[in-house]
Structure 1
């Protein structure tokens, strides 16, 4: 499936909103989680269609919630620092183009370790990776 520049931009902004404080490896893991949702093998996926549809599906990536402080940056009202967004664009391109392997083992979920209590869904999923400030999971068949 061809990926538009808009989709690449939305993925890069999502990486920034969700993982700007992470290493490049942590950003790659977040991007792969999104890619795994895009390519879940279903014709009409619950996650949404394409990178934009997955990233911007309501309540899936908190940085796109209108009440999130990152939202104003993601929609361009406030400016993301150039170098930070450029790094996220590189990661987005590498993941979209398959130039880096999936470190998450097929994860479709993650949460920030900083959360006091893991989300309820984590009890029903298999942990695949702990990297930086995130823990990654995939559904148990």
Structure 2
């Protein structure tokens, strides 16, 4: 009888150790996945904010040249602005997919940046640029408040 109790105790101890080990491994996997997801979301937002800043700059240069009547400079700046606008597409899509709670702020920041096109004059261009910066700042604020998990 003593032997049977000892064997059962050993088996129970082994089973308990196995279960605790499995639970610890599962908890670790969940933590790693959560950290990976947080990192992906943060990277997507960072890439989008960077792309928006590059496009804002390109559009400011482009529209300044257009308003000044510099056709040669405008043509080159227009080509650059097309490239910077295209560079917004992937990070905007990633933010929308990975952080749906930030989709409206991201879309608003992109739309405000696109609105620089065709400004009536230098003052309007400056106002549109400031509005685009403010929209991007709202995205950053929303991302900061978001758990990013």
Shorter-chain TM-score above 0.5: no
Structure with larger Rg: 2
From the two aligned structures, give the one with the greater helix fraction: 2
Give the TM-score normalised by the residue count of structure 2. Answer: 0.28
Q: Taking structure 1 as the reference length, what is the TM-score of the superposition?
A: 0.29
